[in-house]
Each structure stands twice: as C-alpha cells, then as structure tokens.
C-alpha cells in the first residue's frame, strides 16, 4: 500500500468532534490493541474524523494495515466515504474507498474503507484473521442491528488474539459504559466521550388526531398532513430567516417517502426523496452541500438520516413519529418489518438533526399524548428479528448458538432453536448446530440462507443464469419496487433501470457459485426459486384476495392486486398487518401447481383420515400440500381409521364423551386418592393421564366406539379397574372402602374428593346414627380424614365437622335445643355419649329393644 498522510487539520476543520482527536491519538499511541469506545452525538463529525485519525496514529507505530469502518446501511457507507474523500481532497477509491453489496470503489492504495456491517461479517467469516487490517471501527452500534451485534462479538474475539489490531466502537447514545464492560479484558475498555455542543432545538406539535395507521401502514390522510406541515413550517421559517433553511422530514418507509414527496409537489414545492431505492447519483446530490443560490429544500427520508447520515443546511425537522422495526410472529412463522411508533430515543436523534449548525426546530405530527406513550428505546433486532442468518453465521464462526462468544445480548433461546430448525431442514447445520459442508457453501453466498439454498438447488432445475437472476433480485429487497416479483424482474432486466447495473453484477457473481449448470426451463426459474426458498409460504387462493399458506397461516393480498388472479402463489415476503392480527402478502409471484408438486415433494402428501360425529365414523382420503387441501373424497372407514377417530374424539371431548357415569367417577376418585396418598404402584387417573393412556386401559372401549357402539354403553368401570396394581387389586375395596359403617350399624356411602382435589372424604349421615362415636375415623391407612355432614331426620344439613368429640361436647347442645321441638319423635339426649346410636324414631327404637 502506498501510504499518503491524511491532513487531519483540514479534515477536522469545522467538525464538532475535531478537538477530541488529540485524545484519540494519545489513546492509540499508548495501547493500540486495547478496545476503545467513543460516544458522541449525531452530526458531530465522528464518522468523518475518527477513521483518518486512527490511520495516522497507527501508521506512526508501524501499523499500516487498512482501517475498516462499518456502517449499518449502504447509503451511509457510500456517503461517509465520499465525504471523507472530499474533505481530504483525494479521489474516491484511492486513499478512501467503500464497498457495499453490488458496488465497490477502493484500490490497493485504500487506507480507509467504509463497508456495511453485513459485508464485513461475510469478510470476517471468510478470513477470521483479518489479514492486512490494522483497525476495525464499528460505527452506529446503538442501532443494534443483528449484523453489528455479531461483528462486535467476533471482532472483539479476534482482537484478543492480535496485539496489532485496534477495535474502536462508536455510538451516538449513552451505551458507552455498558460497551466498555462488554469489551473488558483485564480492565474495562477505554472511554472517549465527546460532549460536543448541540444547539437548542425548539419542539412544536402540529398534530393529526384522526386515524394515522391502517392495515396497510400509514394512512394517506396522515401522509398528506405531514406534507402540509412540512410545506407550511418551511415557508414560515424561511420567511423569518436571513439564511436558507432546509427541512428534513422523517417517515417510516420508501412508499411513504414517495407519497409525501408527491403531496409536496402538489403544493408547488419540491420534495427530495432519500431512501435506499433512490439512485446513488441522486443520493449524492442530496447529501452534497447545496449551491448558495439554491432555495429551501424539503428532504423526505426514512430513518437512514436519523444518525448515520448528515444532511447539510437542515434547521427544521418534521417527524411523523413512526418507524419500521423487525417483528416475528413465531406462531404463524412470519417475520418482517412492521410500522410502529418510533421510540423516544429515535425521536431525540431525529430532532437533533435540526440543531447541528445552529438553533433549530422540530415539529411533531403525532399528538402529545401518543408521543409521550412511545417506548423509551427500540428493542435490539436480536430480540425481535429473524435469526436464521445469524444462526448460520454463528455456526460458521465455530460458535453454534453463540457458545463461547461474548455477545452484547444473548439471542432468545426459543427463537434460536426454531430458526436453527430451519437451517437443519436446509442441511446447513447438523443436530448440534455445527455447520455442514453445504452450510459453508451457503455462507459464501450474499443472500439469506433460504435463498442461498434455493440458488444451489434451483440451478439444477433451471440453469445457472436464470436462477442467479432470481436470487440477485431477492437478495436486494430495495431493488424490488413491485409486489409482483415477475414484473420487478422484467423491469430490472432493462438497462435503463436504475438498479440494473448492480443487479447484473450480482447475477454474474452468483452464477459463478452455482457451477454453471445448463438452463433447462428458464421461464419457470423465478417462481421455482421462490418456492424452493420459502416452501412454507406457497399459497392457494381460498377466496377473493385471501390465500392459505402451506404453513397453515392465512394471508391477504392488498385489494386490487392483480396477483389475485393466480390460483397459487410463491410468496417471499409476508408480514403481520400493522393494525390487526392478520397477515399481508407483500411480495409474490404466480406459480403452477404442477411446478410446486415437482419441486416440493416433501410437502405433498396423500392421507386417509376419519372423524367421529354423534357416534358415527366418517372417513376421507385427502391430498394436501402442507396445510393446503388439494382434493378430498369419502372412503369406507377401516378398523384402524375408526380407532384413530375414536381416539381423536376422546382427546377433543375428554371423558365427557361418555356422558355421566357415576360408578366410573366414584371408582376414579377412589383410585385418585390411592395414588395421591400411597403413590406407586398406583397410577395417576386424572383426565390427561387417562386420555394419554387410553390405548392401554380403554382399547376394547375404543374398538366399540370405532364400531359405532354408543359411548354411554361402554364398561368404563371394568376398563378402569385394569389400571389397579395386581398386588393391590384384591384388597382395593377394603383399602379404599366404598362405605363407612357408623355406630348405628348403617353402612354409609363415602364421597371421595375429586381427582384434582386434596380435600377429605365426606360422609353424609343422620346425626343420631353417630351417638357414641368418640374416635373420628381416618381412611386409606389412616391417611385420609373423614368430614361428617350431620343431617336432620329429614336429611337437611345441621353441622359439618371432622371432630365428633368436639361437636358433641359443644355445638350439639344448641342443635338439640333447636331440633328437639321440630323432631320430637326422634332421640335428642342430653348425653349423646351414653345414648344408643340409631336411625329410628323413639318408638321404633323401644320396640326394637323389647323385641
């Protein structure tokens, strides 16, 4: 590398972070390999001045390797490189360069290279030693993308093994102490906090209180309001100002940017769109310093201008208050970007863009109540996003599931397990999460693992070139401007399309990775690749714009979509609707059933099933594609189908299937008490256990059900007794007695507690039959107390007790005084201990004693 010194004085001139570079140089001169955390607010110039300062400081110590700076977005990487090259007075691609997917401007002489975090992650996996690199600067770590989180952990691990590699982490928010502890070696990482001056920003509300968000995202009425607010306040501020003030408007996505720009144009002003789909040339024009003669501009941007980009001449920010964040719906197997209220931390950063050059203004179009209710900060993507790519990267690094890596935050175990299952199905990892040979090939493909697998498999069906074209399109979502992927592919094939050149380069790179297979049926490549990448999202129309996915999820096309005329779709993006529990199909292509069946034979099944309704068995033969039923016709039920239908009916209806059978319930309660108090070899007889083991104890009953015999006629008591342990079967009726003999000689039925209860046994008996019973009985080897429900001669309740001695010595006297007049023919002795227990009247008792 032909080293040329950076003119730091020239570069730092006018940058708020400039004075902090001396402290940075000192830190790198003393301990270059000790991690360093830099915290400075957005717009302070840290992204511009830190990389060349690091290059100069390390070169002074003989460390002349390349300085890599990561950015979370392509737009930011390109813009940062152009800005530094401009201030340095050098040609872009010489001393300063950049590399993003599909575009690169750097050379052998490049000393500072700006790259996206995703591209750097792939470089790191390909070259874990980071040969030829002296420093890695990870910028905008506060945005907490998955790629940045993984890079942070992996580069930190590499830097521990290399004493000639500097790791510098930069954040615009107050994560510095947390990061310092995360990167600690023998001591915490060093901190460099640049408290650069931020001019005062006045906060105003110009609220829209009607419906702001619909099922499809931000409402048209709200976007119109945002445009009107931007135009109004831009005119007001510029009328009062002696200098030109530009306006920066924040909306959540590219679709909203374009709509707001159209609304601004309708007002007579020009709206400049800034998002990832905007051609590079136009991005450069927006981010360049405007000509002094140019009037006020209104730049409408997604969150890319929130912290990682600096738009010049901005003194007014209009914040619509929404953002796109990753969310996953594990229950339905869908994930993607969802429109949500932006966090207060994001709102603060957006407002700060107006106070970079002087006092500014932020106008919020949310109402104050909605703004106050916003979350404090956005959740890290590792908590809410799809982890399939991350799991493959961890496996490729030799740290399956993150084992041995010091991650900023551990990925949710359940999500990681689910997404690792996807990788196993793709044969990218083994049962222990370790990468396979196929997985190593997939890591080298700059695409989602599912799409990478589709590239390798699809080439065998459709040829290398057609398959690579399809994957190149899917790999870069910002190139897809249409929900119909086929239309997007036809458009990007045209040389006049703004994304054609990058797409063509990507296609050629991918084509080389397939082995140059010959084309067999190129016309079906796009649909086939989509189906191979997302087999669970192949869908069948059920009505109008509604489709059933092979996974079992229902999803809808936007109203008016011409894709609705297809019977089957191969979907590549399906997301949860913003305002409901439904799912929306965002991108898809029509596909023929024959192609689906030939590619996805693993989902194609023919099965026989039977159901029981009102005691009758009906059977059908069903052809299906996952959860999609393709055909069905009735068949005669076999014995096996009948048994399965009976078992299913039992699981669905539980024991209620058999109606009320008191003898069965009584026996079940007795067996439940035996299991609770005595344990093994008695077995549990709760409903769940009985249903799970029905094929053992109730096999004959299920056979009867399968043959159409009424459930109420099945001998449940006899079947249940088969669960009694053989060594206790002969003594069970005495061990857990059905009846209790009381002093009168009567044998009273015992009501045992329900199976899921721990209460006592209950004996309901006439009070007079218990005279003289001094010892309250206990059942089941003295382990179960008896609760007496003492009754009047006519059976009405008088008292409840588990201690007859206390009752007869106490409350009995009051019961006697109340009852002896009401029931004079029955004995109510003063001393119940000496009176004969009886179920008879006084007269009957005398006759019995005389006889």
What is the domain-level CATH number for residue 326?
Answer: 3.40.50.300
Q: Which helix (H) or strand (E) holds 724?
A: none
The answer on pLDDT for 800 being more than 90 is: yes
CB-CB contact of 70 with 139 (8 Å):
yes
How far apart (Å, rounded) are the C-alpha atoms in residues 535 and 219?
A: 32
Confidence of residue 174 (pLDDT cuts 50, 70, 90): low
Q: Within a domain: residue 174?
A: yes
Residues 6+ apart with CB under 8 A from 726: none
What is the torsional sign of CA 296, 297, 303, 305? negative
Per-residue pLDDT reduced to its tens digit, 690-717: 988 888 888 888 787 777 677 778 888 9
Query: How would DSSP label each residue in 168-184?
Result: EEEESSS-HHHHHHHT-
Q: Within a domain: residue 307?
A: yes
Q: What is the pLDDT of residue 154?
A: 96
CA angle 427, 431, 436 (to 5 degrees): 40
Measured CA to CA in angstroms, residue 197 lies from 50, 202, 213, 218, 622 at distances of 18, 16, 36, 35, 70
Domain around 236: 201-383
- Measured from the Cβ of residue 765, the count of other Cβ atoms closer than 10 Å reads 20
Residues 6+ apart with CB under 8 A from 132: 65, 66
Query: How would DSSP label each residue in 579-598?
Result: SSS-EEEEEEEE--HHHHHH
Q: Are residues 232 and 149 in the same domain?
A: no
How far apart (Å, rounded) are the C-alpha atoms in residues 535 and 422?
A: 11
How far apart (Å, rounded) are the C-alpha atoms in residues 425 and 450?
A: 10
DSSP state of 766: E
Confidence of residue 454 (pLDDT cuts 50, 70, 90): very high
Task: Locate 55 and state its tokens.
Answer: 């290059």
Q: What is the pLDDT of residue 196?
A: 66
Q: Are residues 109 and 213 in the same domain?
A: no
Domain boundary among 346, 368, 383: 383
Three-class SS state of 624: strand
The answer on pLDDT for 579 being more than 60 is: no
Stretch 676-688: mean pLDDT, rounded?
92
Alpha helices in 220-253 (DSSP H): 220-240
Domain boundary among 678, 712, 733: 733
Confidence of residue 425 (pLDDT cuts 50, 70, 90): confident
How far apart (Å, rounded) are the C-alpha atoms in residues 189 and 63?
A: 20
How far apart (Å, rounded) are the C-alpha atoms in residues 620 and 641?
A: 10
Q: Are residues 750 and 661 in the same domain?
A: no
Number of domains observed in the structure of the chain? 4
The answer on pLDDT for 617 being more than 80 is: no
How far apart (Å, rounded) are the C-alpha atoms in residues 695 and 47?
A: 69
Higher pLDDT, 175 or 140: 140
Stretch 51-60: mean pLDDT, rounded?
93
Q: What is the pLDDT of residue 702?
A: 79
Higher pLDDT, 20 or 469: 469
Bond preceding residue 426 cis, omega within 30 of 0 = no
Q: What is the pLDDT of residue 581?
A: 56
Query: How would DSSP label each residue in 297-364?
Result: -EEEE-GGGSSS---TTEEEEEE--EEEEEEEETTTTEEEEEEEEPPHHHHHHHHHGGGSSSSEEEEE
The answer on pLDDT for 573 being more than 70 is: yes
- Measured from the Cβ of residue 89, the count of other Cβ atoms closer than 10 Å reads 10
How far apart (Å, rounded) are the C-alpha atoms in residues 575 and 329?
A: 9
Q: Are residues 205 and 159 in the same domain?
A: no
Confidence of residue 65 (pLDDT cuts 50, 70, 90): very high
Domain boundary among 349, 383, 417: 383
Lowest mean pLDDT among 96-110, 322-336, 502-516, 555-569: 322-336
Higher pLDDT, 479 or 160: 160
Q: What is the pLDDT of residue 645?
A: 80
Q: What is the pLDDT of residue 666?
A: 94
CB-CB contact of 697 with 650 (8 Å):
no
- Average pLDDT value for the chain: 88
Q: Within a domain: residue 561?
A: no
Task: Locate 221 and state its tokens.
Answer: 């009425």
Q: Distance from CA of residue 650 to its chain's centroid?
A: 34
Q: Within a domain: residue 532?
A: no
Burial class of 717 by CB neighbour count within 10 A (0 to 12, 13 to 18, 19+) = middle
DSSP state of 658: G
Give which of 455, 460, 448, 435 is closest to 509, Cα–Cα.
455
Q: Are residues 238 and 185 in the same domain?
A: no
Q: What is the pLDDT of residue 320?
A: 93
The answer on pLDDT for 56 being more than 90 is: yes
φ/ψ of 198, rounded to 5, equals: -115, 125
423, 429, 434, 438: CA torsion to nearest 10 = -130
CB-CB contact of 718 with 661 (8 Å):
no
How far apart (Å, rounded) are the C-alpha atoms in residues 815 and 798?
A: 7
Q: Are residues 813 and 728 in the same domain?
A: no
Q: What is the pLDDT of residue 120?
A: 96
Q: What is the pLDDT of residue 304?
A: 81
Q: Within a domain: residue 471?
A: no
Per-residue pLDDT reduced to its tens digit, 244-286: 999 999 999 888 999 999 999 998 898 999 887 777 788 888 8
Q: Which helix (H) or strand (E) holds 548?
A: strand 546-549
Q: Are residues 222 and 153 in the same domain?
A: no
Per-residue pLDDT reduced to its tens digit, 99-120: 988 788 999 999 999 999 999 9
Q: Which helix (H) or strand (E) holds 266?
A: helix 254-266
Q: Within a domain: residue 646?
A: no
Q: What is the pLDDT of residue 660?
A: 81
Q: What is the pLDDT of residue 1?
A: 58
Q: Are residues 349 and 312 in the same domain?
A: yes
Burial class of 597 by CB neighbour count within 10 A (0 to 12, 13 to 18, 19+) = middle
Q: Are residues 311 and 255 in the same domain?
A: yes
Matching residue, tokens 């931000």: 218
Q: Are residues 339 and 281 in the same domain?
A: yes
CB-CB contact of 428 with 412 (8 Å):
no
Give which of 223, 210, 252, 213 is closest to 342, Cα–Cα.
252
The answer on pLDDT for 578 being more than 60 is: no
Give which of 426, 438, 642 is closest to 532, Cα–Cα.
426
Q: What is the pLDDT of residue 197?
A: 62
What is the torsional sign of CA 336, 341, 343, 349? positive
How far apart (Å, rounded) are the C-alpha atoms in residues 465 and 324?
A: 34
Task: Please tell me whether the overall predicted TM-score, pTM, comes out greater than 0.85 for this model.
Answer: no
Q: Are residues 160 and 222 in the same domain?
A: no
How far apart (Å, rounded) are the C-alpha atoms in residues 763 and 164?
A: 85
Q: What is the pLDDT of residue 245?
A: 92
How far apart (Å, rounded) are the C-alpha atoms in residues 509 and 505?
A: 6
Stretch 117-135: mean pLDDT, rounded?
94
Q: Within a domain: residue 463?
A: no
Task: Locate 589 and state its tokens.
Answer: 């292509």
Stretch 62-88: mean pLDDT, rounded?
91
Q: What is the pLDDT of residue 599?
A: 93
Q: Within a domain: residue 115?
A: yes
Q: Residues 116-150, buried b or exposed e (16+ Cβ, 10 A)?
A: bbbbbbbebbeeeebeebbbbbbbbbbbbbbbbbb
Confidence of residue 238 (pLDDT cuts 50, 70, 90): very high
Give which of 160, 166, 100, 163 is closest to 135, Cα–Cα.
166
Q: Are residues 829 and 744 in the same domain?
A: yes
CB-CB contact of 575 with 569 (8 Å):
no
């Amino acid at each position: 590398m032909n080293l040329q010194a950076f003119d730091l004085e020239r570069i730092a001139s006018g940058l708020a972070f400039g004075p902090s570079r001396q402290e940075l140089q000192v830190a790198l001169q003393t301990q270059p390999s000790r991690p360093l955390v830099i915290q400075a607010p957005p717009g302070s110039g840290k992204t511009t001045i830190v990389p060349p300062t690091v290059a100069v400081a390390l070169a002074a110590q003989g460390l002349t390797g390349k300085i890599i700076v990561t950015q979370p977005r392509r737009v930011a990487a390109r813009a940062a490189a152009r800005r530094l090259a401009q201030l340095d007075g050098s040609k872009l691609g010489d001393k300063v360069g950049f590399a993003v997917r599909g575009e690169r401007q750097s050379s052998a002489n490049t000393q500072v290279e700006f790259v996206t975090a995703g591209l750097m992650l792939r470089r790191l996996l390909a070259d874990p030693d980071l040969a030829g690199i002296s420093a890695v600067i990870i910028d905008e770590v506060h945005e907490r993308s998955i790629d940045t989180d993984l890079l942070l952990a992996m580069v930190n691990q590499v830097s521990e093994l290399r004493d000639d590699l500097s790791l510098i982490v930069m954040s615009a928010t107050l994560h510095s102490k947390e990061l310092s502890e995360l990167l600690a070696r023998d001591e915490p990482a060093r901190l460099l906090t640049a408290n650069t001056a931020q001019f005062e920003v006045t906060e105003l509300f110009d609220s829209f209180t009607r419906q702001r968000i619909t099922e499809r995202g931000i409402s048209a009425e709200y976007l119109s309001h945002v445009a009107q607010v931007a135009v109004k306040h831009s005119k007001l501020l510029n009328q009062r100002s002696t200098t030109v003030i530009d306006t920066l408007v924040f909306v959540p996505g590219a679709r909203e940017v374009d709509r707001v720009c159209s609304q601004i144009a309708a007002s007579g002003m020009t709206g400049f769109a800034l998002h990832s789909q905007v051609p590079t040339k136009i991005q450069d024009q927006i981010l360049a310093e405007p000509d002094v003669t140019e009037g006020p501009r209104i730049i409408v941007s997604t969150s890319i201008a929130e912290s990682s980009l600096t738009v010049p001449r901005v003194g007014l920010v209009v914040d619509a208050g929404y953002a796109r964040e990753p969310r996953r719906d594990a229950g339905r197997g869908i994930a993607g970007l969802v429109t949500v209220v932006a966090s207060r931390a994001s709102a603060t950063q957006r407002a700060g863009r107006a106070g970079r050059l002087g006092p500014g203004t932020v106008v919020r179009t949310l109402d104050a109540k909605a703004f106050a209710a916003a979350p404090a900060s956005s959740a890290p993507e590792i908590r809410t996003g799809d982890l399939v790519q991350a799991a493959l990267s961890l496996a490729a690094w030799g740290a399956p599931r993150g084992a041995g890596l010091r991650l900023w935050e551990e990925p949710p175990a359940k999500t990681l397990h689910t997404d690792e299952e996807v990788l196993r199905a793709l044969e990218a990892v083994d049962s222990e999460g370790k990468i396979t040979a196929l997985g190593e090939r997939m890591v080298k493909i700059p695409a989602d693992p599912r799409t990478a697998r589709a590239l390798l498999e699809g080439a065998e069906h459709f040829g290398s070139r057609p398959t690579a074209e399809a994957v190149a399109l899917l790999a870069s979502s910002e190139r897809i401007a249409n929900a119909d992927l086929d239309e997007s592919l036809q458009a990007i094939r045209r040389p006049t399309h703004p994304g054609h050149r990058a797409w063509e380069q990507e296609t050629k790179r991918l084509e080389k990775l397939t082995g140059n297979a010959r084309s067999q049926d190129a016309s079906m490549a796009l649909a086939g690749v989509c189906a191979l990448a997302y087999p669970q999202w192949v869908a069948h129309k059920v009505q109008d714009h509604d489709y059933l996915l092979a996974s079992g999820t229902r999803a809808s096309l936007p109203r008016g979509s011409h894709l609705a005329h297809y019977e089957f779709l191969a979907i590549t993006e399906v997301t949860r609707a913003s305002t409901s529990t439904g799912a929306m199909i965002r991108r898809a292509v029509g596909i023929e059933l024959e192609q689906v069946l030939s590619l996805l034979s693993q989902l194609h099944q023919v099965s026989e099933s039977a159901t029981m309704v009102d005691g009758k068995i009906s059977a059908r033969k069903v052809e299906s594609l996952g959860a999609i039923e393709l055909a069905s016709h009735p068949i005669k039920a076999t014995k096996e189908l009948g048994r399965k239908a009976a078992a299913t009916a039992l699981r669905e209806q539980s024991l209620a299937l058999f109606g009320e059978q008191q003898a069965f319930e009584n026996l079940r309660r007795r067996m439940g008490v035996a299991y609770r108090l005595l344990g093994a070899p008695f077995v549990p007889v709760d409903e769940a256990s009985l249903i799970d083991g029905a094929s053992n104890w109730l096999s004959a009953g299920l056979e009867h059900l399968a043959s159409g015999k009424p459930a109420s006629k099945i001998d449940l008591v006899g079947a249940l007794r088969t669960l009694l342990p053989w060594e206790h079967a002969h003594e069970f009726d005495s061990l857990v007695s059905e009846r209790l003999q009381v002093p009168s000689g009567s044998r009273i039925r015992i009501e045992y507690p329900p199976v899921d209860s721990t209460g006592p046994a209950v004996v309901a008996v006439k009070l007079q039959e218990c005279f003289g019973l001094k010892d309250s009985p206990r059942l089941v080897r003295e382990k179960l107390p008896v609760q007496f429900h003492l009754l009047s001669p006519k059976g009405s309740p008088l008292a409840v007790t588990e201690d007859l001695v206390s009752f007869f010595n106490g409350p009995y006297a009051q019961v006697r005084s109340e009852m002896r007049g009401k029931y004079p023919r029955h004995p109510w002795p003063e001393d119940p201990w000496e009176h004969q227990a009886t179920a008879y009247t006084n007269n009957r008792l005398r006759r019995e004693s005389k006889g």
